[in-house]
Chain A
Amino acid sequence: MFRHSIILLIFAISIAAVGMFSLKHEVQSRKAKLDALHQDIVESQEAIRVLRAEWSFINQPAHIERLARKHLGFVPMQSHQIVRLEELKGKQLEIVKGSINERGVR
């Protein structure tokens, strides 16, 4: 009975030891992974900061304006080009009707 319990105890201890070591190993490897991830995050954040600065730089209004004029032929908007939806009530139908009549087909 006593011998049996000793064997059982030794068995339990070795199981516990193996368990403990594997757990420790697992924790260590996960920690290394976490540290690497942290490093990655910090690097990405740094990269995002650089990209945000660059984005702001290339979005300078003067630069956009130059590009819009050159490639899109855009000019500053005139006040008569802005119409509010409420102002179109009633008018819209006439315009559509007129355009159909003139062209015959849509």
Chain B
Amino acid sequence: MKGELGKVPERPFIKLDGVVNRFIEVAKNRMLLVCAVFSFAFVLAGLRLLDVSVIGGLGEPSVISESARATLKTGRADILDRNGILLATSLSVPSLYADPSEVLDAEAAVDALKTVLFNLNKKNILAKLKQKKRFVWLKRGLTPAQQLKINALGIPGFHFQEEDRRFYPQGRLGSHIIGFSGTDAVGLSGVEKQFDGILRDGSEPLSLSIDVRIQHILREEIQKQIESFEAIGGAGVLLDANSGEILGMISLPDFDPAFIKGASSQAKFNTATLGVYEMGSTFKIFNTALALDLGSATMTSGYDATKPIRIARHTINDYRPKKRWLSVPEIFMYSSNIGSAKMADEFGSLAQKEFMKKLGFFNQLDVELPERASPIFPARWRRINTMTISYGHGIAVSPLHLASGVATIVNGGIRWPVTILKRHAGQKAVGKQVISSKTSLDMRRILRLVVENGTGKKASANGYLVGGKTGTAEKQAVQGGYAKKLRLSSFVGAFPIHDPKYVVLVMVDEPKGNKDSFGYATGGWVAAPAVKRIVSRSAPLLGVHPKNESSPKIRQILEININPGGGKKRLASF
């Protein structure tokens, strides 16, 4: 090759050749590099392909978990009872809406719709369809059957949209506690309101402390009393004495959350937590407990109940005057107002006020419900107030306050915060010691005495050792003063009283005496029999075993010396 090109002057050609060669060299090198890079990439891609398709993805999980994508998103979390029974849930239901601009013949459309939805207001719907909007709700919350029928009508411009709707499968049971929420899933009362935020963005169900079976028993038994005594309402509470958990709480009349629009304000009112009442004789529990705890009275001391007390234009009298000296257990058993007032007068206003405060009777309860009552108590605590408060007049608290107070007295003297939420195992609230365990034991003994020999005999559920106190308060008349005929009859107690597990409260509002009760409408006649039935039915469900009430072991725990007349030697203040 070089030989043929001999004529050409060598130097420049060589130079040129050198340049070209250099370019070619560079180009070749670059090509090679690119080729190498590409083949390397292709080899990598090929290997990876082999890896994922043939070998099966080394290091890759063979099953990809995608559970997060598959969970159903609902508007609100479920509410359960303590045993996991569904109390409130959200389901998606079809709602009917219309685009008025698409509706051809509004009149005919409404007529057709009325064949499925009978109680539709024709005027109302027509007005809606004539609006210049692109969207009007016609009927929210259809049943699947209604949806099918409306769809079959084939009206142009009518459409469906799935919407979340709240359902309360247990109906009236616990409706005051659970509360209800509006059409746009906003909690309006009860737990639904209190925990609105948590329910809205949580998918974890909320477990309440209530038990639907206990709810049912309370409701049925108190309803029975309301009917037979023609009362206007009632309330019932069943409380765990040692944890403050509410196992059952009802208020009658009640409402069905599915028909909330038809419910009266009276039915929607939660008597047990929002109503405040002068509780009457059941307050003697606190009066006696305080006197025993302070030591201003002992189980053997006595007070003169021969004559009514006249103070500041008031007369304090007994319902059934014994007209003699009474011992502390006797005062309690016969529910003597005179004796109680004298006991209170001895320890005085300051101690009483302090004690009521410790029991939580000056504040709203800490229960997790928006419907909480503020108690009513005298601003100026005079001697007369101290005397009337000793037997439950002049201070008004909610039934739940009363039940919580009694739990404190009988459980060894510790006040637990009452709760509507289920306490999980190991989750223990902080309690406060209010009275000594010795006083608590004495109180259990005299509470048992009331049921064995006193006004509460009808509450005795055989085998379950009920102990408690009856109360018959006169309601304040609208015009002021007390109405003799309008009463609030109640019974509050605990069982089994030798080792209290549960506190039960029954209250019946304005009962009227009937033939069977010989005209009586007192706590002993109206509320006590309901307590007996409630305890007999619920104790087996709560795991409380019946005991032989006259066994020596139990007799020994509940041993009490009534000591008639009390120690006359120790003169009371008057």
Contact = CB atoms under 8 A, between A and B. Distances in A.
Contacts of A38: 66, 69-70
A61 B72 contact: no
A90 to B, nearest CB: 16
A67 to B, nearest CB: 14
Interface in B63-89: 66, 69-72, 74, 85-87, 89
Given A49-B91, A52-B89, A53-B86, A41 B171 contact: no
Contacts of A70: none
Most buried by B among A34, A50, A61, A84: A61
Contacts of B53: 19, 22-23
Nearest to A43: B72
Interface string A12-42: 1100100110110000000000100110011
B220 A62 contact: yes
Interface of A: 12-13, 16, 19-20, 22-23, 34, 37-38, 41-42, 45-46, 49-50, 52-57, 59-62, 65, 76-80, 82, 84
A23 B53 CA distance: 7
Nearest to B85: A56
Contact of B49 (A23, A60, A82): A23
15 contacts: A12-B46, A13-B42, A16-B46, A19-B53, A20-B49, A46-B72, A46-B91, A49-B90, A52-B89, A60-B212, A61-B212, A62-B220, A76-B536, A82-B545, A84-B545
Contacts of B167: 53
Nearest to B548: A87
B46 A50 contact: no
B72 A49 contact: yes
B156 interface: no
B45 interface: yes
B173 interface: yes
Contacts of A79: 461-464, 536, 539, 546
A60 B91 contact: no
B74 A57 contact: no
B536 A78 contact: yes
B36 interface: no
A53 B49 CA distance: 50
Contact of B169 (A22, A45, A46, A53): A53
A22 B50 CA distance: 12
B448 to A, nearest CB: 17
A56 B169 contact: yes
Contacts of B32: none
B169 A49 contact: no
Given A62-B220, A79-B464, A80-B546, A41 B70 contact: yes
A66 B53 CA distance: 64
A49 B49 CA distance: 44
Interface in B530-555: 536-537, 539-540, 545-546
Contacts of B216: 60-62, 65
Contacts of A23: 49, 52-53
Interface string B85-121: 1110111100000000000000000000000000000
A19 B173 contact: no
Interface in B7-49: 42, 45-46, 49
A42 B86 contact: no
3 shortest interchain CB distances as A-B pairs:
A79-B463, A61-B216, A56-B169
B199 to A, nearest CB: 15
Contacts of A16: 42, 45-46, 49
A87 to B, nearest CB: 9
Interface string B198-223: 00000000000000110111001000
A57 B172 CA distance: 11
B170 interface: yes
Contacts of B69: 38
Contacts of B220: 62
A45 B78 CA distance: 14
A56 B86 contact: yes
Contacts of B49: 16, 19-20, 23
Contacts of B66: 34, 38
Given A16-B45, A49-B89, A53-B89, A82 B546 contact: yes
Contact of B213 (A45, A61, A77): A61
Given A50-B91, A53-B167, A45 B72 contact: yes
Contact of B173 (A45, A50, A61, A77): A61
Given A53-B91, A79-B539, A80-B463, 6 more contacts: A12-B46, A20-B49, A38-B66, A45-B71, A55-B86, A55-B169
B462 A59 contact: no
Interface string B510-547: 00000000000000000000000000110110000110
